[in-house]
């Protein structure tokens, strides 16, 4: 029986107990949340404190991962900007040294990025 069905059955049994007492003329003040919680705990269905702890733990882990992702995105943007600036400076230097040579900056950038991807892939494979 799945957890959901177990919970439904326990709540139904608890509800049936109170209905039975009311039928015999007992007047009771019912705190359904407390009864349901006690019935579930007595039946061994979950520990609310443990579940909350796990939930909080995973939420904190998720938030930490989001912070790390934002930091990684920022570092990537900074690295890309630095790479673009470096490419421009090299282009200016090469154009000053070799004024008659045409350098396609976009093609050069694409080639450098492709080489970097290849080097990283090889390092990961070897490492």
Q: How confident is the model at residue 21 (pLDDT cuts 50, 70, 90)?
A: low
Query: Which percentage of the chain shows pLDDT scores above 90?
Result: 25
Model pLDDT, residue 1: 58
Residue 41's CB is within 10 A of a number of other CB atoms, namely 13
- Strand, helix or coil for residue 94: helix
Residue 122 has pLDDT above 80, yes or no: yes
Quote the mean pLDDT of the chain: 78
Q: Of 52, 60, 56, 117, which Cα lies nearest the Cα of 83?
A: 117
Q: What is the pTM of this model?
A: 0.50
82-117 confidence digits (pLDDT tens)? 999 998 998 899 889 998 888 888 898 899 889 999
């Amino acid at each position: 029986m799945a957890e959901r069905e177990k919970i439904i059955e326990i709540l139904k049994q608890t509800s049936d107990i109170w209905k039975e007492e009311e039928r015999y003329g007992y007047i009771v003040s019912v705190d359904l949340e407390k009864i349901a919680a006690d019935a579930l705990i007595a039946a061994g269905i979950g520990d609310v404190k443990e579940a909350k702890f796990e939930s909080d733990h995973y939420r904190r882990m998720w938030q930490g991962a989001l912070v790390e992702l934002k930091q990684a995105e920022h570092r990537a943007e900074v690295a890309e900007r630095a790479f673009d600036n470096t490419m421009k400076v090299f282009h200016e230097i090469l154009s000053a040294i070799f004024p008659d040579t045409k350098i396609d900056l976009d093609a050069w950038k694409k080639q450098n990025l492709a080489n970097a991807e290849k080097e990283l892939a090889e390092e990961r494979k070897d490492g």
